[in-house]
Structure 1
Amino acid sequence: MDWQTLATKLFPEGHTVTEHEHFLSGTGSVEGQTVTVIGTTDHAPIGIEIALIQAQAVLATVREHPGRPILILVDTQGQRLRHRDEMLGINSYMAHLGKCIDLARRRGHRIVGLVYDQALSGGFITSGLMADACFALPDATIRVMGLSAMARITKVPEERLAELAKVDPVFAPGAPNYLRMGGLQAIWEDDVGARLAAAIRDADPVDRRRALGFERGGRKLAAPVAQAVGTGAHVLPA
Structure 2
Amino acid sequence: MAWTALVAALFPQGHAITEQDDLLSGVAQVDGGTVAVIGTTRHASIGVELALAQAQAVLRTVREAPGRPIVLLVDTQGQRLRHRDEMLGIQRYMAHLGKCLELARQRGHRIVALVYDQALSGGFVSSGLMADACYALPDATIRVMALPAMARITKMPEAVLAELAHSNPVFAPGPENYLRMGGLEEIWRGDLATALAKALAEAQPADHRAALGQARGGRACAQPVLTAVMEAGRAAQNERARTVRPRRY
TM-score using structure 1 length: 0.97
What is the aligned partner in structure 1 of residue 153 from structure 2?
Answer: 153
- Rounded to whole Å, the distance in 2 between the matches of 1:232 and 1:104 is 31
What is the aligned partner in structure 1 of residue 238 from structure 2?
Answer: none
Aligned counterparts, 1:155-174, within 5 A: 155-174=155-174
Q: CA deviation at 1:120?
A: 0.2
- Report SS of the residue matched to 1:16: strand
- Report SS of the residue matched to 1:232: helix
Residue 4 in structure 1 maps to residue 4 in structure 2: yes
Q: Which amino acid aligns with 1:34?
A: T
TM-score using structure 2 length: 0.93
Unaligned runs of 5+ in 2: 234-249
Residue 94 in structure 1 maps to residue 126 in structure 2: no
- Rounded to whole Å, the distance in 2 between the matches of 1:231 and 1:37 is 39
Q: CA deviation at 1:190?
A: 1.2
Percent of aligned positions that are identical: 68
Residue 218 in structure 1 maps to residue 218 in structure 2: yes
Q: CA deviation at 1:232?
A: 3.1
- Rounded to whole Å, the distance in 2 between the matches of 1:15 and 1:9 is 11
Unaligned runs of 5+ in 1: 234-238
What is the aligned partner in structure 2 of residue 201 from structure 1?
Answer: 201
Residue 74 in structure 1 maps to residue 77 in structure 2: no
- Report SS of the residue matched to 1:142: strand
Residues 58-102 of structure 1, C-alpha deviations (whole Å, 9 max, x = no match):
000000000000000000000000000011111110000000000
Aligned residues: 233
Residue 44 in structure 1 maps to residue 49 in structure 2: no
- Runs of 4+, deviation exceeding 4 Å: none
- Report SS of the residue matched to 2:15: coil
Q: Which amino acid aligns with 2:48?
A: I
Q: CA deviation at 1:149?
A: 0.9
What is the aligned partner in structure 2 of residue 129 from structure 1?
Answer: 129
- Rounded to whole Å, the distance in 2 between the matches of 1:59 and 1:170 is 33
Give 1 or 2 for the bigger CA radius of gyration: 2
Residues 104-158 of structure 1, C-alpha deviations (whole Å, 9 max, x = no match):
0000000000000000000000000000000000000000001111101111001
What is the aligned partner in structure 2 of residue 54 from structure 1?
Answer: 54
Residue 232 in structure 1 maps to residue 232 in structure 2: yes
What is the aligned partner in structure 2 of residue 15 from structure 1?
Answer: 15
What is the aligned partner in structure 1 of residue 113 from structure 2?
Answer: 113
Q: Which amino acid aligns with 1:83?
A: H
Q: Which amino acid aligns with 1:25?
A: S
- Rounded to whole Å, the distance in 1 between the matches of 2:209 and 2:226 is 12
What is the aligned partner in structure 2 of residue 236 from structure 1?
Answer: none
- Rounded to whole Å, the distance in 2 between the matches of 1:156 and 1:92 is 30
Q: CA deviation at 1:230?
A: 1.4
- Report SS of the residue matched to 1:51: helix
- Report SS of the residue matched to 1:159: helix
- Rounded to whole Å, the distance in 2 between the matches of 1:212 and 1:161 is 24
Q: Which amino acid aligns with 2:208?
A: R
What is the aligned partner in structure 1 of residue 245 from structure 2?
Answer: none
- Rounded to whole Å, the distance in 1 between the matches of 2:138 and 2:200 is 20
What is the aligned partner in structure 2 of residue 142 from structure 1?
Answer: 142
Q: CA deviation at 1:231?
A: 1.5
Q: CA deviation at 1:229?
A: 1.1
- Rounded to whole Å, the distance in 2 between the matches of 1:26 and 1:230 is 40
Q: CA deviation at 1:45?
A: 0.2
- Report SS of the residue matched to 2:77: strand
- Rounded to whole Å, the distance in 2 between the matches of 1:132 and 1:89 is 27
- Rounded to whole Å, the distance in 2 between the matches of 1:84 and 1:109 is 34
